[in-house]
Amino acid sequence: MTEITTLAAFRAAADELAASGPARIAAAATADELAEARNALVGRASGRLGALMKALAALPKEDKKAAGEAANTVKATLEALLDARGAALAALAPRGPAIDRSMPARAQWTGTVHPVTQVIEEIEAIFREIGFTVATGPEAESPWYNFAALNFPADHPAMDLHDTLYLGDEAVLRTHTSPVQVRTLQAWQPPIRVLVPGTVYRRDFFDPSHAPAFAQVEGLCVDEGISFVDLKGTLSHFARRFFGATKTRFRPSFFPFTEPSAEMDVACRLCGGRGCAACKQTGWMEILGCGMVHPSVLEAAGVDSARYTGWAFGMGPGRIALQRFGVPDIRLLYDSDVRFLEQFA
């Protein structure tokens, strides 16, 4: 070290130490290395701060106080950094017996969203991207909303497809989420783009593929100039986003509340469309029923069917959940066995 004889030189040396010290401290990766750094930097005997303190004696008397303060500032800064680094290293490798880091974390319980809700949320997210919002409605409904307004002829074989649970002559447990179509059309002037998730009821006895109450997701789009092309375009888009399906198929079907009516299939993902047991050798998986909203439904809701057109669809997220998660029996979705539910974390 060159001889320090002036306050300026002393300060320069102190500044240099303050500037270079932190890197040295940060580089220390073990307690031993840190002790070495401590010694080299602030050690009384052989450290650089020690050397600086010794140089203090050679300064003019009037400069000693200022120089001493400068040295103390550097000392405090470096010691704080040394202590912090020491604490950090101690946290990584505390003294005492070495810990076994293969041992498990101190965990919290993990909660889960029901698998059917997970499917509904995924469907909802896709439709939100294209301008849909969510509508809901009552599960105990009047027969007018559940049937008549949806163009079900009174006492017609079409009713046989909806084995209904009755609460009274003028009250049913809704057999589909479609009553919310009518409620929404009555409440809001188009443009309407809504998704309707909800519980629906059928007089179906519990078996591996039937439940008396299950989830349905309905979709409704009504505006001027809405056509079958929009229906196909939107639902195919959904199928590509949801299933990664490259191919969809629309085939004729029947629902009292749509005309024309269709079912949408996606190419079976298990066999790639060649045909397998899962798709009954057809190469296709049935996904949803859909169609153009029947003019009678619009008129029942007070909507001018000459001005407005629309399309609607309905699908079963429960069935999709069974397929997606490989669940063999629909009853598992309702039993609420915690060993089942916790699998969907």
Partner 1 sequence: MHISVEWLREFCPAPLTAPQLRDLITARVATVEGMEALRTDLAPFVVARVVESGKVEGTKLSFNKVDDGSGTLLDVVCGAPNVTVGACYPFARSGTVMPDGLKIEKRKIRGHTSNGMLCSARELGLGQDADGILTLETDAAPGTPLLDVLPVGDVRLLVDVLPNRPDLLSHLGVAREVAAATRLPLGLPRALTSGTSVLVAVTVQGTGRAGGVTVTVDDAVGCPRYAGVLIRGVQVGPSPKWLAARVEATGGRSINNVVDASNYLLHAIGQPTHAFDAKRLSGDAVVVRRARAGETIVTLDGVERKLTPSMLVIADAERPVAIAGVMGGRDSEVTSRTTDLFFEVAYFAPSVVRPTRRALGLSTDASYRFERGIDRADVARALALGVQLIQAVAGGTVEGEPVDVAVAAPAPVAVRLTAARLARVLGIPVSVADAVRHLEAIGFTATAVDAVSAMVHAPSWRVDVQIEDDLIEEVARLHGYDAIPDELRPFRPGVVPDAADHVTAKRIRAALVGAGLHEAKPLPFVAGTDATHARVLNPLAEDEPHLRRSVLESLARRAEYNLSRMQGDVRLFEVGAVFTPREGSALPAERQMAGLLVMGDRRPAHFTDAKPPAFDAWDAKGLAEQLARAIAPHAAISFVAGDGDALWTVSIDGTPRGEVRAVALDAPVWASPAFGVELSIGDTPSAPIAPPGKHAWGTTPVAQSAAPAVRYRPLPTTPAAEFDLALLVPLALEAGAVEAVLRAEGGELLESLVLFDEYRGKGVPEGQRSLAWRLTFRHPDRTLRDKEIDGRRSQLLKALEKQLGVTARTA
**Between residue 264 and residue 283, which ones bind Zn ion under the rule CB under 5 A?**
268, 270-271, 276, 278-279
Pick the closer one to partner 1 by CB: 178 or 184: 184
- Tell me the closest approach of the beta carbon of residue 204 to partner 1, in angstroms: 8
Distance CA 36, CA 50 (A): 15
Give the 3-state secondary structure of residue 13. helix
Closest CA to 286 of 266, 271, 272: 266
Residue with tokens 């859909």: 290
Is residue 20 within the footprint of partner 1 (CB under 8 A)? no
CB of 326 to partner 1, least distance (A): 18
Asked if 51 is part of the footprint of Zn ion (rule: CB under 5 A), the reply reads no
What are φ and ψ of residue 178, in 5° steps? -60, -25
Measured CA distances, 33 to 26, 39, 51, 288 (Å):
10, 10, 21, 68
Question: Does residue number 245 form part of the binding site for Zn ion (CB under 5 A)?
Answer: no
Pick one of 22, 43, 86, 212: the residue that binds partner 1 (CB under 8 A). Answer: 212
Identify which of residues 81 and 213 has a Cβ nearer to partner 1 in the complex. 213
Q: Out of 1, 91, 102, 168, which residue is the one contacting partner 1 (CB under 8 A)?
A: 168
Distances (CA, A) of 37 to 3, 46, 82, 332: 24, 11, 8, 63
| Distance from C-alpha of 299 to C-alpha of 304, rounded to nearest angstrom | 6
- The nearest distance, CB 272 to Zn ion, in angstroms, is 8
Nearer to partner 1 by Cβ, of 36 and 139: the residue is 139
Q: 279 is in the binding site of which of partner 1, Zn ion, none (Cβ under 5 to 8 A by kind)?
A: Zn ion
**According to the 3-state scheme, what is the secondary structure of 31-97?**
HHHHHHHHHHHHCCCCCHHHHHHHHHCCCCHHHHHHHHHHHHHHHHHHHHHHHHHHHHHHHHCCCCC
Tell me how far, at minimum, the Cβ of 244 lies from partner 1, in Å: 16
Q: Which residue is nearest to Zn ion (CB)?
A: 268
Smaller CB separation from Zn ion, 200 or 287: 287
Contact 222, 309 (CB under 8 A): yes
Q: Which amino acid is at 287?
A: I
Token pair listed for 69 = 């303060």
Q: Does 237 bind partner 1 (CB under 8 A)?
A: yes
Segment near Zn ion (CB under 5 A); pick from 6-14, 83-91, 262-270, 315-323: 262-270
The least CB distance from residue 339 to partner 1, in Å, is 7
Per CB under 8 A, the list member of 39, 77, 136, 323 interacting with partner 1 is 136
End-to-end Cα spacing for the chain: 65
Q: Give min distance, CB of 87 to partner 1, in A.
A: 22
Element (H, E) at 240: helix 228-243
Which residue from 123, 194, 245, 288 is in contact with partner 1, where contact means CB under 8 A?
194
CB 180 within 8 A of CB 136: yes
Q: How far is the CB of 344 from partner 1 (least distance, A)?
A: 8
Residues 245 to 284: which contact partner 1 by CB under 8 A? 248-254, 259-263, 280-282
**Between 228-243 and 115-129, two packed helices, what is the crossing angle to 10 degrees?**
130
Shortest distance, position 278 Cβ to Zn ion, whole Å:
5
Which partner, Zn ion, partner 1, none, binds residue 270 by CB below 5 to 8 Å per kind? Zn ion
203 binds partner 1 (CB under 8 A): yes
- The DSSP 8-state label assigned to residue 210 in this structure reads B
Q: Answer yes or no whether residue 96 interacts with partner 1 by CB under 8 A.
A: no
Q: Is residue 161 close enough to count as binding partner 1 by CB under 8 A?
A: yes
Q: Which residues bind Zn ion (CB under 5 A)?
A: 268, 270-271, 276, 278-279
